[in-house]
């Protein structure tokens, strides 16, 4: 049996081969299309028609004509949840559960064979979903169900699913004339292809670069564990000396600790020009970016929007690109005085203490670390020794167990790599609530960054409740020298962030697929639970239970924690402006920019930097070429959501601060009003139900040290 077609349990990773992909997906696509045809034949909308449902907005905003040929058979029955929505939900879930492991393996165990079949199959998946979104007959039936007597008796979750479907049909081009539908479909297929190529180019360019240093004197300042990892990497490639790459665990310590300025510059230049015209032509993302932005604009105009920013926000909390841009500019004004002060201090320190008269981008991480060490009398490397993996994971689990009343234990399941592990989450009665895979370490076959993805989503099926399952992926340094891996405090924060996403997926109590877990949650609110979790990484009562020095075994000293806390908002002005720069660039590129219209993407970024940045990178830097979030991820015209959701998360966390950060009563309230609700109601409704009021920006400014009184 094809392992991708086995839906009885968890994915059979050990058995999945590239040759399984095409047959499985083609079979499911054929079955799904046959099902859709049968549903359209069997279920008829009521003959009296009905008006547009209220509150569902849309691109075209016009009444649909009844589609001829679908309501003529008197034996047809009106569409209901059970005879119409449920069968489609089952079929699409099977397709998702077959394709999901393929996409996951392509991201974490990339190989030429898998990449080839993934990229060959992706257009077929894209075409199928685009066809669904454009199917006028399906849209008519969802409208009929919305206007039927049954609708009033449906659960809030099912009502929300139907309302979302109506919105998504409009956004998917269901109302377009046939010639424009054909063009819309072409755009979707081409965008999927371009996004996949963007990601592949970046991975290939990242993996291609290695730097071998044979003279240890050139590596002055680098920590011992970093040197050991680099030496092991060189031995693996049968090289003498120390081998460095552009993967974060290798690259970041060089930028932060290497005394050798020319080494830092060399690595910075290599990283900053990845997948650009400075490298291999076949990996250059320049033309791909232009085409992606141009096609997104065309897609938006086809659907009746002025630009892609408007289209993107049609399913988000924010009202308009203008509102987002103004939010970012206001936050920029609040942060700028702090950023200017940060940079002036750093330049003066670099000049007087480090002998660097002209601070450059490749000096910033190094000088910042030296300034932090001088000002707060500790280094990140010192802190890192207190966070071994076998203390961090149990500590994080204990926190979640305390505030949510859960039990987390290692479980057993087939995995894709020996480093991946599997865990069960149970309630206090021992009932299984959710499960997750954890893949923490960087490797050449794995794309960069950290992310959560769903494996199985909670829903009610014939046998009962389906247990939700998630993937949690990071790119940390693997263990070296026979010891457990050790994490920087920033990596601990990243781990908590991804686990927050995972809990949002795993602790849902919704029983309908379309709004269960993270499904149906507005994109600019989906970061709320993840950013919320980050706050606990600054709590003494949490950290002291998850630290143990890698050599001495002693817990984190309170004095060192106090120094970390004092340094928490070190350069927060610079960091905030950096996020605003990315978010403003993203939204302006998708709302106030014409690709190929005389101004390049790089020129637009230069304009944004001139407006909001205080630290301008060198002219050769090609940041957009590796900006995966917006060119090959889900954040196009949505990168602002990190700051938008941070307002929500900081304000939500302030209720814990007021009542005790380990308060299980407040934890239960957060779980029931935010995590459990999934997308079954609007994110603002869930927030106000938890907090008792609408969000305020004050907690964010206070947490980031951006208040004048701080």
Task: Summarize pLDDT for 296-324 with one digit per residue, the tens.
Answer: 999 999 999 999 999 999 999 999 999 99
> How large is the angle between the packed helices 261-272 and 361-376, nearest 10 degrees?
120
User: By three-state DSSP, how is residue 411 classified?
Assistant: coil
Q: Is the pLDDT of residue 615 over 50?
A: yes
**Of 631, 526, 589, 524, which Cα lies nearest the Cα of 309?**
589
pLDDT at 45: 53
Structure tokens at 567: 């340094």
366 close to 350: Cβ distance less than 8 angstroms: no
Burial of 278 (0-12, 13-18, 19+ CB in 10 A): middle
Longest dimension (CA), the chain: 87
Q: Is the pLDDT of residue 75 over 60?
A: no
Query: What's the whole-number mean pLDDT along residues 289-302?
Result: 97
Task: Summarize pLDDT for 525-539 with one digit per residue, the tens.
Answer: 999 999 999 999 999
Q: What is the spatial distance between Cα 689 and Cα 676, in angstroms, rounded to a whole number?
A: 12
102 close to 3: Cβ distance less than 8 angstroms: no
Structure tokens at 592: 């106030």
**Residues forming beta bridges with residue 212, ordered by sequence position:** 243
The bridge status of strand 469-476 relative to strand 242-245 is unpaired
Q: What is the DSSP string of 36-47?
A: HHHHHHHB---T
Query: What's the whole-number mean pLDDT along residues 572-586?
Result: 97
pLDDT at 47: 43
Instruction: Label each residue of 125-191 as H, E or C.
Output: HHHHHHHHHHCHHHHHHHHHHHCCHHHHHCCHHHHHHHHHHHHHHHHCCCCCCHHHHHHHHHHHHHH
Would you state the torsion angle of the CA atoms of residues 391, 397, 399, 405, taken in this order, to the nearest 10 degrees?
A: -150
Burial of 294 (0-12, 13-18, 19+ CB in 10 A): middle
User: What are the structural domains of the chain?
Assistant: 3-175 (1.10.1370.40), 209-274 (no CATH), 389-520+537-568 (1.10.1370.40)
Active site residue: 310, 389, 498, 646, which one?
A: 498
Q: Which range, 42-51, 133-142, 698-707, is most confident?
A: 133-142
pLDDT at 490: 96
Q: Is the pLDDT of residue 708 over 80?
A: no
Q: Is the pLDDT of residue 46 over 70?
A: no
User: Is residue 498 among the annotated active site residues?
Assistant: yes
CA-to-CA separations, 273 to 213, 406, 465, 621, 706, in angstroms, rounded: 21, 46, 49, 6, 33
Query: What's the whole-number mean pLDDT along residues 635-640?
Result: 96
pLDDT at 707: 82
583 close to 637: Cβ distance less than 8 angstroms: no
pTM for this entry:
0.89
pLDDT at 70: 29
Task: Summarize pLDDT for 81-91 with one digit per residue, the tens.
Answer: 999 999 999 99
Query: What's the whole-number mean pLDDT along residues 505-512?
Result: 98
Average per-residue pLDDT in the chain?
93
Q: What is the spatial distance between Cα 629 and Cα 392, in angstroms, rounded to a whole number?
A: 28
Task: Summarize pLDDT for 10-21 with one digit per residue, the tens.
Answer: 999 999 999 999
**Residues forming beta bridges with residue 486, ordered by sequence position:** 388
Q: Is the pLDDT of residue 54 over 50?
A: no
Q: Is the pLDDT of residue 611 over 60?
A: yes
Task: Summarize pLDDT for 99-158 with one digit per residue, the tens.
Answer: 999 999 999 999 999 999 999 999 999 999 999 999 999 999 999 999 999 999 999 999
**Of 583, 618, 649, which Cα lies nearest the Cα of 332?**
583
> Binning pLDDT at 50, 70 and 90, where does residue 44 land?
low
**Of 143, 134, 135, which Cα lies nearest the Cα of 166?**
143
């Amino acid at each position: 049996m094809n392992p991708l077609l086995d839906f009885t349990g968890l994915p059979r990773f050990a058995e999945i081969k590239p040759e399984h992909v095409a047959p499985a997906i083609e079979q499911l696509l054929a079955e799904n299309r046959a099902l859709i045809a049968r549903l359209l034949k069997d279920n008829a909308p009521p003959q009296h028609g009905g008006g547009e449902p209220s509150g569902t907005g849309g691109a075209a905003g016009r009444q649909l004509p009844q589609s001829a040929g679908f309501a003529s058979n008197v034996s047809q029955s009106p569409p209901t949840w059970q005879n119409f929505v449920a069968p489609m939900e089952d079929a699409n879930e099977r397709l998702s559960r077959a394709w999901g492991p393929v996409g996951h393996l392509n991201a974490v165990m990339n190989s030429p064979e898998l990449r080839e079949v993934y990229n060959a199959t992706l257009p077929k998946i894209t075409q199928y979903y685009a066809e669904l979104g454009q199917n006028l007959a399906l849209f008519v039936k969802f409208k009929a169900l919305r206007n039927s007597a049954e609708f009033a008796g449906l659960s809030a979750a099912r009502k929300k699913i139907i309302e979302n479907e109506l919105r998504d049909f409009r956004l998917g081009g269901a109302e377009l004339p046939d010639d424009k539908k054909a063009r819309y479909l072409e755009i979707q297929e081409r965008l999927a292809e371009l996004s996949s190529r963007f990601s592949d180019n970046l991975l290939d360019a990242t993996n291609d670069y290695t730097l071998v240093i044979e003279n240890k004197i050139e590596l002055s300042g680098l920590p011992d564990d970093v040197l050991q990892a680099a030496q092991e990497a060189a031995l693996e490639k049968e090289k003498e000396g120390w081998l460095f790459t552009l993967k974060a665990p290798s690259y970041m310590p060089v930028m932060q600790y290497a005394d050798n300025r020319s080494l830092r510059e060399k690595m910075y230049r290599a990283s900053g020009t990845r997948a650009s015209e400075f490298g291999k032509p076949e990996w250059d993302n320049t033309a791909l970016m232009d085409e992606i932005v141009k096609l997104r604009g065309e897609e938006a105009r086809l659907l009746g929007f002025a630009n892609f920013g408007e289209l993107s926000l049609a399913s988000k909390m924010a009202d308009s690109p203008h509102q987002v841009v103004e939010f970012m500019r206001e936050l920029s004004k609040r942060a700028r005085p702090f950023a200017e002060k940060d940079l002036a201090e750093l330049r003066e320190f670099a000049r007087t203490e480090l002998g660097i008269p002209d601070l450059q981008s490749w000096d910033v991480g190094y000088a910042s670390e030296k300034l932090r060490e001088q000002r707060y009398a500790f280094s990140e490397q010192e802190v890192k020794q207190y966070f071994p993996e076998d203390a961090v994971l149990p500590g994080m689990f204990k926190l979640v167990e305390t505030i949510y009343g859960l039990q987390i234990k290692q479980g057993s399941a087939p995995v894709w790599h020996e480093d991946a592990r599997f865990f069960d989450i149970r309630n206090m009665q021992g009932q299984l609530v959710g499960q997750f895979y954890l893949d923490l370490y960087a490797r050449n076959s794995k794309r960069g960054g950290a992310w959560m993805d769903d494996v199985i989503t909670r829903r009610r099926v014939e046998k009962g409740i389906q247990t939700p399952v998630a993937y949690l992926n990071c790119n940390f340094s693997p263990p070296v020298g026979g010891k457990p891996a050790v994490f920087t405090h920033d990596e601990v924060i990243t781990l908590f962030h991804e686990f927050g996403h995972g809990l949002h997926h795993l602790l849902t109590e919704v029983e309908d697929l379309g709004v269960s877990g993270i499904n149906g949650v507005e994109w600019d609110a989906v970061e709320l639970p993840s950013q919320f979790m980050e706050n606990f990484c600054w709590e003494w009562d949490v950290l002291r239970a998850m630290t143990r020095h890698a050599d001495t075994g002693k817990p984190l000293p309170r004095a060192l924690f106090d120094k970390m806390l004092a340094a928490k908002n070190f350069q927060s002005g610079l960091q905030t402006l950096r996020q605003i720069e990315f978010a403003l660039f993203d939204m302006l590129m998708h709302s106030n920019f014409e690709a190929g219209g005389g101004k390049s993407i790089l020129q637009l970024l230069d304009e944004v930097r001139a407006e909001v940045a205080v630290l301008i990178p060198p002219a050769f830097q090609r940041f957009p070429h590796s900006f995966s979030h917006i060119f090959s991820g889900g954040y196009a015209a949505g990168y602002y959501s990190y700051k938008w959701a941070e307002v929500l998360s900081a304000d939500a966390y302030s209720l814990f601060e007021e009542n005790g950060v380990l308060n299980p009563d407040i934890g239960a309230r957060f779980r029931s009003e935010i995590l459990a609700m999934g997308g079954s109601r609007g994110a603002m409704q869930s927030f106000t139900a938890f907090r008792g009021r609408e969000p305020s920006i004050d907690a964010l400014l206070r947490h980031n040290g951006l208040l004048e009184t701080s």
